[in-house]
Chains A and B, each alone.
Chain A
Amino acid sequence: MAGYLIRRILLGLLTLLLITMAIYALIRYMPGNPLATDAAMMNPENMPSEEDIQRMRAAYGLDKSIPEAYAHWLTNMIKGDFGSSFAEKKPVLDVIGSRVTNTLLLTVPSLILAYILAIPIGLFSTARSGKSDERLVGVVLYMLYAIPSFIAALFLQLLFAVKLEGTAFELPLMGTKADDYEALTNSEKIWDLLEHMILPVISFTYVSLAYYSRFIKANMEEVIRQDYIRTAKAKGLGPFRIMIHHAFRNTLIPFVTLLGLSLPALLGGAIILEQIFNWPGMGQLYFRSILTRDYPVIMGLTFALSVLTLLGQLLADILYAFVDPRISYQ
């Protein structure tokens, strides 16, 4: 196991190196640079002199060649210094840190909801397989799965923020806070945040809910055909106990790996959804930093997401060995 882990980690480091290299080269090839996208610089009355531009290029490291600048970024990164955001003039780690909570506010409840709801739906679908109510649930899940989350988000906004405006069901269109947030009491503040979270969390949840439920059902269908389920039935166990204790426990193996693979999405958020809900999270940060050519932030986010993806894969494999004693990494 230790040898396997070391090999995986070394390979992961190599992958990280190659990814950051590729993304660094890519963003440096983007037309335009951070100096040209800053609104203050575009002001014709306030055009910076040629010397100023040269000085700023040097300060941003834009005067170096791409390999040189990448090596510079890499050595600083190893020392724990990710540089400063061009747009916000703050260290990259602070910029990302200020956004992580917002993204976690959406992704954690959505992950928990998806798992809590998917298990009973999956078990129900297996137990009632082929019956009319199961078919209905199946069709609804299938349709949900085909709706892109950004379209569901827009439809939810139309329904709850525009159509139901002025009724008791009205929900905020976007953002994280009401306009009069500062004037609210603490309990009202929490309620306000919850209200703002409802639509984004639903949009985050339903696709994975549909996917997980169908996933559980597909796995359960395979398991309940096994001999040991027939044995359990033959010795007179109730259907509930067979379902939970004998069948479901054995579908946990592939289910657990899904958990590992959802790690990057947990922190990465979603670019399109956060943009639609104007939610100041990681996805929106990524989008904005590409638009403003904020190289250090793009690199910091790419690095963080790649680490999470690799860790997620590793975690999935380790969990796999943990829940399934037949698998060992020798």
Chain B
Amino acid sequence: MKETTAASENKKSPGFWRHAWLRFRRKKLSMCALIVVLLLSLVAIFSPMIAGTRPIVCKYKGNLYFPCMAYFNADWENPIFQKDRFRKRYPKNLKEKDPDSWAVWPLIFQDPYRPVRNKEWEDRPGNPFNGGEPSSLNIFGTSKGKDVLAMMVHGTRIALLVGFVSTGIAATIGIFVGAVSGYFGGWVDIIISRIIELVMCIPSIVLILALMAVIEQPTIWHMMAILGFTSWTGMARLTRGEFLKLKESEFVAAARSIGVGPFRIMFRHILPNALAPVMVPIVFGIAAAIKVEAGLSLLGFGAPPPNPSWGTILNAGMTNYTEWWQIVFPGIAIFITILAYNLIGEGLQESTDPRLADPKD
């Protein structure tokens, strides 16, 4: 008898999130969607190594350089290449200026920001400016001379970043506002609830367009911030509801009775218990943010032109419908990404809902 209790004490029963993960893993579609999102993240992280005109790594005048990092941030390009007047044309300059140099090149020699010129890479012809149909050199065709595949590979970075950053901002605001509103109640709750209703009343696309128009030179980061600041209301309402419910529970009363401060109770004790229902709209929010970003870029209101977002390619495609590849490929990419996030969201919803739990687990 004594032994069995000791054994069960040693074997810790799996926690809530482990349970949820076990249930989530059984949903084939949601797991596929998770894999798709992970693959997309890999594409985003390694985008300069997949498509680009800068070497991944090169040896130049006795030193090793990683010029491809300039795709993440233009300032990361080593000054030596500016001093030696490379002008972003690496293959020939490397050979001419240092015959002993060597370089490892990206999988696809194409640039998302500019058309590849004639003979830039050995004897290869340049990208056609008009009517660049999909071909062996430009698998997804060209958009105003730029390779669509390269733009899409680098656009993955923007799409995923927009999803994460803007939803992260929205979730932070939403959870904080909802927590304060639900926990403190009273007039704080009344005022915050009124503000939430007010923001909900303004059609979000209108507010986003107006805010984008206020900024003189919007960058992709401005857009993420705006998307975040306009989409927190749903999460705030949900968090508020959870907090209203949980603040009456015994563990909160216990924490309060030993003198724990309100913010510690809110974020250390209540929030972990309220997180599961709030996680679901966060995942759906990522899908929505990606959709809105694409829509804004399609209207020409999105990331400024050199940024190769998926919506920007659609925007170029709208000016010439005969160049179907500028619409079909980015369109499919947006659809797959949104579908994947929706499936993950649904899987998460089903696997964290205690009412749907399998008693055998």
Residue positions of A touching B, CB distance < 8 A: 11, 15, 18-19, 22-23, 26-27, 29-31, 142-143, 145-148, 150-151, 154-155, 157-158, 161-163, 173, 264, 268, 271-272, 275-276, 286-287, 290, 298, 302, 305-306, 309-310
| Residue in B206, B287, B334 whose Cβ sees the most chain A Cβ within 10 Å | B206
Task: Assess whether B299 is interfacial by the CB under 8 Å rule.
Answer: yes
User: Residue of A at shortest CB range from B203?
Assistant: A305
Q: Are the C-beta atoms of B198 and A19 separated by less than 8 Å?
A: yes
Rounded to whole Å, the gap between the CB of B134 and the closest CB of chain A is 15
Tell whether, in the assembled complex, residue B321 and residue A19 are in contact, meaning their CB atoms are under 8 Å apart. Answer: no
B22 within 8 A of A: no
Bound Cα distance A305, B204 (Å)? 12
25 CB contacts below 8 A, A to B, read A15-B194, A15-B201, A22-B202, A23-B210, A26-B214, A30-B214, A31-B216, A146-B287, A146-B339, A147-B335, A148-B294, A150-B294, A151-B294, A151-B314, A151-B334, A151-B335, A154-B327, A162-B324, A173-B321, A271-B205, A271-B209, A272-B299, A286-B206, A298-B210, A306-B202
Contact B335 A310 (CB under 8 A): no
Residues of B within 8 A of A264 (CB): 203
Contacts of B205 in A (CB 8 A): 271-272
Known contacts A151-B334, A154-B314: A145-B342 contact under CB 8 Å: yes
Contacts of B201 in A (CB 8 A): 15, 19, 306, 309-310
What residues make up the interface of B, taking CB atoms closer than 8 Å to A? 194, 197-198, 201-203, 205-206, 209-211, 213-214, 216, 287, 291, 294-295, 298-299, 314, 317-318, 321-322, 324, 327-328, 331, 334-335, 338-339, 342
On chain B, the residues within 8 Å of A162 by CB distance are: 321-322, 324
B342, A146: Cβ atoms closer than 8 Å: yes
Interface residues of chain B: helix, strand, loop or mixed (majority): helix
What's the nearest-Cβ distance from chain A to residue B340, in Å? 9
Residues of A close to B213: CB separation below 8 A: 27, 30, 290
User: Are the CB atoms of A155 and B327 closer together than 8 Å?
Assistant: yes
By a CB distance below 8 angstroms, the chain B residues around A268 are 203
Q: Per DSSP, are chain A's interface residues mostly helix, strand or loop, or mixed? A: helix
Beta-carbon contact of B327 and A287 below 8 Å: no
Kindly state the separation between the CA atoms of A142 and B335 in the bound complex, as whole angstroms.
12
If the complex has contacts A155-B328, A290-B210, A309-B203, are A148 and B321 also in contact, measured as CB distance less than 8 A? no
Residue contact A272 to B298, C-beta cutoff 8 Å: yes
A154:B214 contact, CB within 8 angstroms: no
Among B213, B216, B299, B322, the most chain A Cβ lie within 10 Å of the Cβ of: B213
A residues less than 8 Å from B338 (CB atoms): 146-148
Residues of A near B209 (CB, < 8 A) are 271, 286-287, 290
Could you tell me if B203 and A154 are in contact, using CB atoms closer than 8 angstroms? no
Residues of chain B contacted by A146 (CB below 8 angstroms): 287, 335, 338-339, 342
Min Cβ gap A118→B in Å is: 19
Q: Tell me if A151 and B342 are in contact (CB < 8 A).
A: no
- Structural contact, B321 and A155, CB atoms closer than 8 A: no
Assuming A154-B317, A155-B328, A157-B321, is B334 touching A305 (CB within 8 A)? no
In the complex the two chains form, what is the Cα distance from A151 to B295 in whole Å? 9
* Interchain CB contact (< 8 A) of A158 among B194, B197, B198, B327: B327
Chain A nearest CB from B295 CB (Å) reads: 5
Report the nearest B residue to A11, measured CB to CB. Answer: B194
Instruction: Please determine whether A15 and B335 come into contact, CB atoms closer than 8 angstroms.
Output: no
CA distance A165 to B338 in the complex (A): 31
Q: Is the CB of A287 within 8 A of B299?
A: yes
CB distance from B356 to the nearest CB of A (A): 13
Q: Write the chain B residue with the least CB distance to A147.
A: B335
Query: Which chain B residues border A154 with CB–CB below 8 Å?
Result: 314, 317-318, 327, 331
A-B contacts besides A30-B213, A155-B327, 17 pairs, CB < 8 Å: A19-B201, A19-B202, A29-B214, A142-B342, A145-B342, A148-B291, A148-B295, A148-B334, A158-B324, A161-B321, A162-B324, A272-B298, A275-B299, A286-B206, A287-B209, A290-B210, A290-B213
